[in-house]
Structures are given as structure tokens and as C-alpha cells.
């Protein structure tokens, strides 16, 4: 399982979401998180700008959440069959 977190380096909400997400990881439910700095790409700034942090489980599906971690949605993804 891999999550993608669109973030900013100076964003405390982004760090809070990453910390909350990582707290859900267990040996039985391992996952990775790609943290992408939106400020590194003008197209990402145009798309996400003030929405960060934005979390995706799959980039071809709608976002799971933004601003704050939706623990229920993340747990549902983690427990769904692959």
C-alpha cells in the first residue's frame, strides 16, 4: 500500500497529517508515503495551492482527505482487499 501526500515544507498541518497517518501503520498494515512538495512544481501549486495537505491512496481516485487526516477513510483503505 502506498499513499501520496501533497504537502509544503513549512506547513504544520502537513506535518500533522503525516504524523497521524504514520501512527496508523502497524507490522500487519505496512505502507509507504510519498511526500510531494507542491511548491516544487507550478502545476501542483495551481492544482492544490491552499488545499494542502492533500492525501491520496491512488492518484487515479479522488482524494481521501485534505487539511486533516480522515482516519476512517484511511482505515477503510488499509483494510480493503487489494
User: Which pLDDT belongs to residue 43?
Assistant: 97
User: Which pLDDT belongs to residue 82?
Assistant: 63
CA atoms within 13 A of residue 31's CA, in its CB half-sphere: 25
Query: How many Å apart are CA 2 and CA 59, to the nearest integer?
Result: 10
Show the domain range for 27: 2-79
Specify the pTM.
0.93
Total structural domains within the chain: 1
pLDDT tens-digit map of 17-63: 999 999 999 998 899 999 999 999 999 999 999 999 999 999 899 99
CATH number of 9's domain: 3.40.30.10
User: Which pLDDT belongs to residue 34?
Assistant: 97
Amino acid at each position: 500500500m502506498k499513499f501520496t501526500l501533497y504537502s509544503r515544507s513549512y506547513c504544520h498541518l502537513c506535518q500533522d497529517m503525516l504524523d497521524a497517518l504514520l501512527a496508523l501503520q502497524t507490522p500487519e498494515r505496512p505502507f509507504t508515503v510519498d511526500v510531494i512538495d507542491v511548491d516544487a512544481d507550478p502545476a501542483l501549486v495551481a492544482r492544490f495551492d491552499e488545499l494542502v495537505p492533500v492525501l491520496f491512496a491512488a492518484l487515479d481516485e479522488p482524494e481521501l482527505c485534505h487539511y486533516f487526516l480522515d482516519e476512517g477513510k484511511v482505515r477503510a483503505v488499509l483494510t480493503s482487499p487489494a
